[in-house]
Amino acid sequence: MPAFVRSIDRASDILGHVAAWMFVAIGLMVSYDVTMRYVFTAPTKWALEISEFFLLWATYLAAASVLRHRENIRITLLYDVVGPLGRRLFDTVSLTIIAVFSGVAVVHGIDVLVDSVEQGRRTSTMLQVPKWMTELSIPVGFALLLAQALIELARAWTGEAPRPVGHQTETGDSLEDAGGRGDGEGRS
């Protein structure tokens, strides 16, 4: 496996874990704000905006990891009945759509980001955070998703692609029943 592929896989995994912890932090911030607002009648000025900031970043940072581990929502009605070639074709179409959309999102995301920096736009909240700080999440997240989609597309045709979680094994058992995820790793 080339070093570039390993580094993208590693970045996807690390940023997926970072995103998970950001979602935990969002829950804690919202809980703190609700407690301060309704128990102590002293709402925070920062919790809503910072939790929205985290939500944007966590969503885009997690996308590549979700794709890498095939944990995205899939409609498998036809996928499960076609043979290996049919599954490769379905994967090729879906991964190509993801890659094209991600490329477009990166290009337009950079345009919006540059415009925000040039205009000096800020949020219209009490914190007045520069808009580029949230807008940066789009080109970063979609660039990683684009790279991961291209890697998964190559894996689909080299036989390295992991099967989706819950996909049927050759014996008819689901991978959860068999104790594995389909990518050589068991759940822990």
Mean pLDDT across the chain: 86
User: What's the rounded mean pLDDT across residues 44-50?
Assistant: 92
The pLDDT value recorded for residue 179 is 43
The pLDDT value recorded for residue 185 is 45
Query: Residue 139 above 80 pLDDT?
Result: yes
Q: How far from the centroid of its chain's Cα atoms is residue 14's Cα? A: 11
pLDDT digits (tens, 9 = 90+) for 70-128: 888 877 888 888 888 888 999 999 999 999 999 999 999 999 999 999 999 999 888 99
Model pTM score:
0.81
pLDDT digits (tens, 9 = 90+) for 168-185: 444 444 444 444 444 444
